[in-house]
């Protein structure tokens, strides 16, 4: 069975959408017919992403700034009429032992990874409730329940995010607004490489496997689609499974 997604007419906002999984999702949603607004602080990467993609838009946004989030989402709704889908992909992964973590670094991780999702949710969900349609997707991580050395801030923010999503989802289910989590597994992105150099990378490669950003697009598009009649749920990719199989090796025949 082959899944084909039709996003014609939808307006989708992706925070942290200039790089990694967010960028791959933005491309695919645009190709499926959606208008996609990429919200990020990386203007250079966003400019490269938007080149030649007429359905992509860019909004410079620091999701930790609640006032800026409210203004940005209001502007997007005013221009495009609505927001049908919100994907909260903006995140940071600082690596530092807990006892040596400066307060500012700890607070920044929570402000982006947790508070940023809450502010975006608050900005878009009232409109979804009025229209009785909408999907919000946030990112969890296996580290939320397993933990990892020097990753306490990241793991803590993702664990808290799970409780937030499951609680918020039950508040808006009656309005046909869905709020779900995805745990994409270990994915080879620039952020992953910066946070998992050396032995950590080898560990993931030899255990769970390291996937590619495009491998997560299908599950994300499903969660954004009307086919995903589920909420307060976690869609987890616990082991890397490539979206396309590598070319089979061939042998010369005598």
154 is catalytic: yes
Name the packing angle between helices 20-31 and 217-224 (round to 10°).
Answer: 60
Distance CA 14, CA 253 (A): 50
3-state secondary structure of 90: coil
For residues 78 and 125, is the Cβ–Cβ distance under 8 A?
no
Which tokens go with 146? 């397993």
The dihedrals phi and psi of 39, each to the nearest 5 degrees, come to -110, 120
3-state secondary structure of 153: helix
Query: Strands, DSSP E only, in 2-133?
Result: 11-15, 35-40, 56-60, 85-88
For residues 126 and 137, is the Cβ–Cβ distance under 8 A?
no
Catalytic pick among 121, 154, 192, 241: 154
For residue 218, give every residue at least 6 positions away whose Cβ sits within 8 Å of its Cβ, in sequence order, or none.
3, 243
Task: State the catalytic residues.
Answer: 154
């Amino acid at each position: 069975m082959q899944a084909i997604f039709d996003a014609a007419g939808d307006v989708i906002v992706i925070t942290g959408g200039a790089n990694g999984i967010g960028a791959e999702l933005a491309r695919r949603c645009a190709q499926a017919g959606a208008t996609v607004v990429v919200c990020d602080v990386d203007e250079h990467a966003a400019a490269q992403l938007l080149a030649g993609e007429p359905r992509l838009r860019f909004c410079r946004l620091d999701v930790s700034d609640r006032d800026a989030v409210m203004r940005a989402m209001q502007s997007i709704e005013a221009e495009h009429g609505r927001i049908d889908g919100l994907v909260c992909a903006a995140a940071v992964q600082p690596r530092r032992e807990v006892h040596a973590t400066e307060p500012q670094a700890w607070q920044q991780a929570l402000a982006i990874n947790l508070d940023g999702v809450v502010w975006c949710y608050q900005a878009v969900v009232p409109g979804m409730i009025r229209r009785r349609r909408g999907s919000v997707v946030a990112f969890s991580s296996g580290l939320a329940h397993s933990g990892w050395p020097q990753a306490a801030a990241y793991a803590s923010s993702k664990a808290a995010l799970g409780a937030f999503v499951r609680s918020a989802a039950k508040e808006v289910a009656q309005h046909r607004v869905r709020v779900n989590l995805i745990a994409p597994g270990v994915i080879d992105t620039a952020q992953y490489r910066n946070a998992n150099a050396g032995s950590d990378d080898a560990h993931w490669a030899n255990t769970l496997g390291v996937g590619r950003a495009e491998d997560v697009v299908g599950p994300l598009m499903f969660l954004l689609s009307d086919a995903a009649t589920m909420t307060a749920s976690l869609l987890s990719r616990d082991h890397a499974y490539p979206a396309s199989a590598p070319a089979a090796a061939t042998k010369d025949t005598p």
